[in-house]
């Protein structure tokens, strides 16, 4: 790999960091030798594109950078809450789902270099973007040795997601929230069904081999995938909770004692 970056690629990276509120002049003033743009570039190269020059190790470091940044944010903004509540919040804030949403806000997909096969794999896109965002955090921290270059754009998103989570019953534990909803209205519990997976099933994310469905009154309300059955259940419950809340909002005269879900 060349020690320099193609001018067009350099301009792309500058635009991306400007979206994060990070000005090129300020970044390049950090070190006398200049800002390490190769490190930023590498953070956005998926292993499917190159087996030697990719973001694997940066993503590994980025996981810790992310957790530290989010932990500090939670301690500062929600220090009056219990450690259990903070841990529950953090588990959602550092999830692939949250990271992929943030990546989408900044159009990160436009800057990530991937193979054609990976680019067309819609099932794996969320994990790909989440990994790239973590790698980008690592590269920024390594290049600046300062978390403020991450937290200045990450904290506002964490604040928004945290407020949304705190508005959800059971603090974002979607299984518990869904259980409380169905029990409170219909006095019954949802049913979780494990979905058999095979290597030939193209709809299965190979990084998340477990698939679970949520059923209630003979109706499928949500399906989720995860690295574990528990994670897949949470994802399925989150989808089911959203769909069931829409149903309830559309039926304001719902009788909690007699209503059946169509």
> Listing from the earlier edge strand, what are the strands of the sheet with 191-195?
191-195, 210-216, 219-226
The one catalytic residue in 12, 63, 121, 180 is: 63
Domain limits for position 23:
7-167
Specify whether 232 is located in the same domain as 158: no
Give DSSP secondary structure letters for 145-188.
S-THHHHHHHHHHHHHHHHHHHTSGGGG-HHHHHHHHHHHHHS-
Q: What is the pLDDT of residue 258?
A: 42
Specify whether 142 is located in the same domain as 178: no
Closest CA to 26 of 148, 181, 203: 148
Specify whether 242 is located in the same domain as 180: yes
Domain membership of residue 65 (yes or no) is yes
Specify whether 151 is located in the same domain as 233: no
Average pLDDT value for residue range 32-44: 92
Among 167, 193, 215, which residue terminates a domain? 167
The one catalytic residue in 41, 59, 96, 134 is: 134
Domain membership of residue 126 (yes or no) is yes
63 part of the active site: yes
Domain membership of residue 258 (yes or no) is no
41 part of the active site: no
- 71/158 Cα distance (integer angstroms): 11
What tens digit of pLDDT does each residue of 184-223 get?
Answer: 889 999 999 999 876 545 555 566 789 999 999 999 999 9
Contact 109, 103 (CB under 8 A): yes
Contact 206, 249 (CB under 8 A): no
Could you tell me whether strands 210-216 and 219-226 are parallel, antiparallel, or unpaired per DSSP bridges? antiparallel
Specify whether 57 is located in the same domain as 147: yes
Q: Percent of the chain, pLDDT > 70? A: 91
Question: 10 Å Cβ neighbour count for 185?
Answer: 16
The total domain count for the chain is 2
What tens digit of pLDDT does each residue of 138-169 get?
Answer: 999 999 999 999 999 999 999 999 999 888 77
């Amino acid at each position: 790999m060349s020690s320099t970056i193609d001018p067009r690629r350099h301009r792309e990276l500058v635009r991306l960091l400007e979206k994060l509120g990070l000005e090129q002049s300020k970044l390049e003033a950090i070190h006398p030798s200049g800002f390490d743009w190769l490190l930023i570039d590498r953070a956005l190269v998926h292993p499917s594109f190159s087996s030697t020059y990719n973001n694997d190790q940066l993503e590994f470091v980025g996981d810790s950078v992310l957790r530290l940044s989010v932990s500090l944010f939670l301690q500062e903004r929600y220090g009056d809450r219990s450690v259990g509540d903070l841990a529950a919040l953090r588990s959602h804030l550092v999830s692939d789902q949250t990271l992929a949403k943030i990546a989408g806000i900044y159009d990160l997909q436009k800057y990530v270099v991937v193979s054609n096969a990976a680019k067309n794999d819609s099932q794996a896109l969320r994990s790909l973007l989440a990994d790239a965002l973590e790698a980008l955090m690592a590269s920024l921290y390594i290049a600046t040795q300062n978390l403020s270059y991450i937290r200045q754009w990450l904290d506002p998103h964490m604040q928004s997601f945290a407020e949304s989570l705190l508005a959800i019953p059971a603090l974002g534990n979607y299984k518990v929230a869904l259980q409380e909803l169905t029990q409170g209205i219909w006095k019954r519990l949802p049913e979780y069904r494990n979905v058999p997976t095979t290597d030939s099933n193209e709809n299965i994310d190979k990084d998340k081999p477990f698939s679970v469905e949520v059923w209630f009154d003979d109706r499928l309300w949500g399906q989720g995938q995860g690295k574990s059955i528990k994670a897949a259940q949470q994802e399925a419950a989150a989808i089911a909770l959203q769909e069931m809340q829409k149903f309830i909002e559309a039926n304001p005269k719902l009788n909690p004692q007699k209503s059946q879900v169509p």
